[in-house]
Amino acid sequence: MKQLILGGARSGKSQYAQQQAIDSGLQVVYVATAQAGDAEMRARIEQHKNNRPSDWQLVEEPIRLADVLQQQDGPGRCLLVDCLTLWLTNLLCHDDPSLYEYERDRLLTLLPGLQASVLLVSNEVGQGIVPLGELNRRFVDEAGWLHQALAAQSERVVWIMAGLPQVLKG
């Protein structure tokens, strides 16, 4: 099953996704997309690590998400990706401006054929005002389009608000 889990910052989406992974009873591979660029981000990453079961395999990959999913795929596995908006940020800020489109297309092409259960966590950022700055507006646009494409491919889409899951699809 492919599941897209959306919500705002600190909405409870990561905790929900982790519980879904535990409840699956499958071997869990946690795919982290964050990069620790400063002390505050390192602390956030450590907090996430401390909140996960210690027997989960961890793969840290900020760019080549499709490669990791393909390498880790298999029946009896649950691939939990946290989070897509950090991955999007990493790609949009990369030196190669064409890399995001390439990696996005690879992900969208690969996802339907994966045998593993896949949990995709992402921040919904399109419910506020139109942001200032070209990069910020592109980020909101690309996140929205990515979420729409992933929701179309996912059997289940869940919106998390204040720790409460609301099933949008499936």
Please report the domains of the chain, with CATH numbers, ordered by start residue.
Answer: 2-169 (3.40.50.300)
Q: Is 147 a catalytic residue?
A: no
Tell me: pLDDT of 45 over 80: no
Q: Which of these is catalytic: 26, 27, 45, 48?
A: 48
Which 3 state secondary structure label does DSSP give 28? strand
Q: What is the torsional sign of CA 131, 144, 59, 90?
A: negative
Judged on CB neighbours under 10 Å (0-12, 13-18, 19+), 117 is buried
How far, rounded to the nearest angstrom, does the alpha carbon of residue 137 sit from its chain's CA centroid?
20
Lowest mean pLDDT, pick from 9-18, 59-68, 125-134, 137-146: 125-134
